[in-house]
Structure 1
Amino acid sequence: MLREVESNKKCYVPLVVSIGPYHHGNPELEAVEKLKFKFANQFCLACGDQISINQLYAEVAKVADSAREYYEEGTTTCYDNESFTKMMFLDACFVLQYMYILTTIKPKEEDQLPTMKSYLSAFVWRDLFLLENQIPLLVLEVLLKSRFGDNTELISDFLDLFPRPPEKTSCTNLVKKFVNKSCCDAVKKFVNKSCCDAVKKFVNDHCPGGQTNDKRKLQLDASPHLLDLMSKHLAGLAKPNHKEGTMDESDQWNSYRSVTELEEAGIRFRASKTHCVTDVMFKDHLVYGTMMLPPLFVDDTTKPLLLNLVAYEMSPNGPHDSHITSYIWLMDSLIDHANDVKELRKKGILVNNLGSDEHLATLFNEIADGLVPDPYAYAYAKGKIDTYCRNKCRYWIAESMHKHFSSPWTVLAFLGAIFALALSTGQTYFSAFPRS
């Protein structure tokens, strides 16, 4: 059904590399197919002398039958055990070595790939998150364990490379950056002895080896493939505020308008503190409201990624929730024209690396076409906005302020007029009642 949209057809097909059986053997992907042997050789050499390539291959062969069950019935029948295991082995080595090169600041000379140019590397990133281009994580895990032991941070670090808008420089961000880079068990021990509970919690949450890494490991164990991990990565681990509220509150969203129209009603927009698509909130102040949305970096890989995440959520064996679908639908309801994108760009919510704002507005309108979101998604925030907008008096005041006092020059002109009126009134009074 999703493929029927003409502008989206190419978003589900790999451009440079095939992973798994669905697009294996495509002659247009032959260039990177040859690179897989080089990647596999580098990966095996990095495992050390204690593990041979035959032993690594044997580990993959042990899980090959289980890996077959992840694919659609009948898809792998044309592969015998040896050819299927070989495909899984080469693809897994390629994916892991690619992750290692991208996540390592200064890879060793033998790991550097002058044959893979930057544009090709970007296309590989895109292709690794296609629904029809996945390899079961259990295959990656057996090779990861052979090279890195129980450390699975390679995949987590790879997901962290997902493009994000730069964080605003603040004292908290600087402290967080310092802690992430320099803290160790000794620092944490010192902090736990001498600091307040808030600082203890901050250090324990953000130090390497802390709770965050344990949560990541649990996520990896519960995921079938890389696209599922990205879905969880974008949705975050927590706060199900998208489930709050009632169906009645959620239904009211259909009457809401675009960003520019909501701003006219006195609703301001700010970037959320996290990049999770579930982190959408609304705060009602005395004379205005604030809607917080997660910041998003948009480039050429964004559309294929979002569409494949939607396809995964719609698939029979996909996740029960629809975080990404609901997020796209929300953004589409807020963005009608280029001016809406412009306002979100000003607030740091959108970083447009596509070109024109009109292009980005069209992107969300195309992606959201025909999508059915979770009816409870963001219900709490939407209910708050509905309550805010029902206050007609405040709505009228905000709309008047936006129309007549949106520029500092109009404010100055208004104050000048008041001052001139006051002087004129004073002059008239003293003319009528001069002092004796």
Structure 2
Amino acid sequence: MIEEATTVGNREWVIELEKQVRSLDNRNRSLWKKQSIYRVPTSVKDLNSKVYEPGLVSLGPYHHGTPKLKAMEEHKYRALHCFLKRRNHPISVYVEALEEIVEDLMGSYDLLEEEWRDTSRFLQLMIVDGCFLLEIILELWFDYDKNDPIFSEQGSLNNKDVMMEDILMIENQVPLIVLTTLAATAWGRTVDEVRLSLKP
């Protein structure tokens, strides 16, 4: 029996299969360490798709470009403008900061589509969506017109509940490191200092 097992173990396809299984296991483990934003399985979504689809704003790559969410894109760019103006840093400073961690950011997403493997396109999305989120979270409404449909006090009252639901959706997120890196760069602090300031 031992001799038979040894003979089987020496077959080329058995050796190749063992290599594949080992490499797949190691690959999956390294991927799973990075991933923090996941796709909801279609079978789960089909039960009630509205629960898993944002109603007002897309964040990150999964729902970007969805027709019903396109109206919010203009507001995101206005938020980016105010964010940049407030700190008076060129956008290149933020791009450089996120470029250093772009592989980790891409690795945060489960099943990232090929179109988002373009580093330039992906970084643009992270900066626009990240700055928009910081503006929402920090509620820096004083930089906006009092009649602004999103960033005024009235705009916040009208949209905040739907926006908060969208922000919490599992497929509709940006990695936390995007926010901490943008904030650290804006305020001249380290990412660790920003993380510590977020702890209760």
Give the structure-2-normalised TM-score: 0.66
- Report which of the two has the higher share of helix: 2
Of 134, 139, 150, 1:96 maps to: 134
Partner of 1:19: 59
Of 91, 104, 108, 1:66 maps to: 104
Larger relative CO (CA 8 A, sep 6+): 1 or 2? 2
Of 136, 139, 145, 2:178 maps to: 139
8 Å Cα contact 1:16-1:127 kept in structure 2:
yes
Counterpart Cα distance in 1 of 2:147 and 2:171: 26
Matched, 1:78 2:115: yes
Counterpart Cα distance in 2 of 1:78 and 1:87: 12
Report the alpha carbon displacement of residue 96 of structure 1 after superposing the two structures with TM: 0.6
Counterpart Cα distance in 1 of 2:105 and 2:134: 17
- Cα 1:109–1:4 change in 2 (3 A) is closer
Counterpart Cα distance in 2 of 1:76 and 1:24: 12
Counterpart Cα distance in 1 of 2:165 and 2:46: 21
- Cα 1:112–1:65 change in 2 (3 A) is farther
Partner of 2:73: 33
- Report which of the two has the higher share of strand: 1
Report the alpha carbon displacement of residue 119 of structure 1 after superposing the two structures with TM: 2.5
Of 115, 123, 126, 2:149 maps to: 115
Counterpart Cα distance in 2 of 1:112 and 1:53: 26
Counterpart Cα distance in 2 of 1:126 and 1:70: 21
Of 21, 44, 49, 1:2 maps to: 44
AA of the residue aligned to 1:82 = S
Counterpart Cα distance in 2 of 1:56 and 1:145: 10
AA of the residue aligned to 1:66 = D
8 Å Cα contact 2:82-2:143 kept in structure 1:
no
Structure with greater Cα Rg: 1
AA of the residue aligned to 1:126 = E
| Uncovered stretches (5+) of structure 2, i.e. residues with no partner | 1-42
Report the alpha carbon displacement of residue 94 of structure 1 after superposing the two structures with TM: 0.6
AA of the residue aligned to 2:136 = Y
AA of the residue aligned to 1:78 = E
8 Å Cα contact 2:130-2:179 kept in structure 1:
yes
AA of the residue aligned to 1:147 = A
8 Å Cα contact 1:144-1:152 kept in structure 2:
no
Counterpart Cα distance in 1 of 2:147 and 2:98: 25
SS at 2:148's partner residue?
A: coil
| Uncovered stretches (5+) of structure 1, i.e. residues with no partner | 157-212, 217-436
AA of the residue aligned to 1:136 = P
Q: CA RMSD in A?
A: 2.2
Of 157, 169, 189, 1:130 maps to: 169
SS at 1:78's partner residue?
A: helix
Report the alpha carbon displacement of residue 93 of structure 1 after superposing the two structures with TM: 0.5
Report the alpha carbon displacement of residue 145 of structure 1 after superposing the two structures with TM: 0.7
Partner of 2:33: none
Q: How many residues align?
A: 148
Partner of 2:40: none
AA of the residue aligned to 1:88 = M
Counterpart Cα distance in 2 of 1:132 and 1:67: 15
Partner of 1:87: 125
Report the alpha carbon displacement of residue 2 of structure 1 after superposing the two structures with TM: 3.0
Of 32, 38, 44, 2:84 maps to: 44
AA of the residue aligned to 2:181 = V
Task: Output one character per residue of 1:237-260: Cα deviation in whole Å (capped at 9) or x when no partner.
Answer: xxxxxxxxxxxxxxxxxxxxxxxx
Report the alpha carbon displacement of residue 113 of structure 1 after superposing the two structures with TM: 6.5
AA of the residue aligned to 1:77 = E
- Cα 1:113–1:91 change in 2 (3 A) is farther
Task: Output one character per residue of 1:322-369: Cα deviation in whole Å (capped at 9) or x when no partner.
Answer: xxxxxxxxxxxxxxxxxxxxxxxxxxxxxxxxxxxxxxxxxxxxxxxx
Task: Output one character per residue of 1:276-305: Cα deviation in whole Å (capped at 9) or x when no partner.
Answer: xxxxxxxxxxxxxxxxxxxxxxxxxxxxxx
Partner of 1:190: none
8 Å Cα contact 2:80-2:128 kept in structure 1:
yes
- Cα 1:46–1:19 change in 2 (3 A) is same
Report the alpha carbon displacement of residue 45 of structure 1 after superposing the two structures with TM: 1.6
Report the alpha carbon displacement of residue 18 of structure 1 after superposing the two structures with TM: 0.6
Report the alpha carbon displacement of residue 131 of structure 1 after superposing the two structures with TM: 0.5
Report the alpha carbon displacement of residue 43 of structure 1 after superposing the two structures with TM: 1.0
8 Å Cα contact 1:42-1:111 kept in structure 2:
no
